[in-house]
Amino acid sequence: MERAFDILLSWVDGAARLVLLACMSVMIAVVASQVFMRYVLNSSIDWADEVSRLAFVWAIFLAIPLGIREGAHVGIDLLTSRLPRGLARQIGRVMLGLACLLMCVVVYESTIVAAETWSERLGAINISSSYFFVAVIIGSAHAALHLVHLVLHPLEEHGPEYPID
């Protein structure tokens, strides 16, 4: 079962990396084009703000679970570094479990807000404003999967940020 979960997470991580790369590329291209148009040609791209903002939000929320996987997020170990290793592991698991619960709440609430605002449109590109919330839903669900994995299958390679190895 652990092997299947690892394969699923690897596949989801790979897809997230590709979409993240696409979002960053779109954001860079659109913002650079907008700057060129505005300052060189004295013109503007009407949809540049909305597209770049949408790409930015998607990039941020797709990067969060990848940061969890790599142990790249900031952690404060002022208390746990002074505790016995076994107790620090248990506290680490509890905290990861609480973080997973929080991500599940975010998924649930974001789904409700996305459904309620689905009919609202972005002015310049005429798509639903709920696509901002879709990024939150996907990123939070993906983060929850990584947090569950860390709680159930702690690995030594997660390093000192995860004191449950």
- pLDDT interval class at 82 (50, 70, 90): confident
Query: Could you count the other beta carbons within 10 Å of the beta carbon of residue 153?
Result: 12
pLDDT of residue 155: 59
The per-residue pLDDT for range 2-42, each reduced to its tens digit, is 788 889 999 999 999 999 999 999 999 999 999 999 999 99
* 130-36-58 Cα angle (round to 5): 25
Mean pLDDT of 52-76: 90
Q: Which of 80, 100, 79 is nearest to 162 (CA)?
A: 80
Three-class SS of residue 47? coil
Q: Are 124 and 50 in contact (CB under 8 A)?
A: yes
Q: Give the whole-number percent of the chain exceeding pLDDT 70.
A: 93
Report, as an integer, the average pLDDT of 138-163: 77
Whole-angstrom distance, CA of residue 135 vs CA of residue 148? 20
Binned at pLDDT 50, 70 and 90, residue 76 comes out as: confident
**CA distance linking residue 13 with residue 9, whole number of Å:** 6
Residue-averaged pLDDT of the chain? 89
Domain ranges of the chain: 2-158
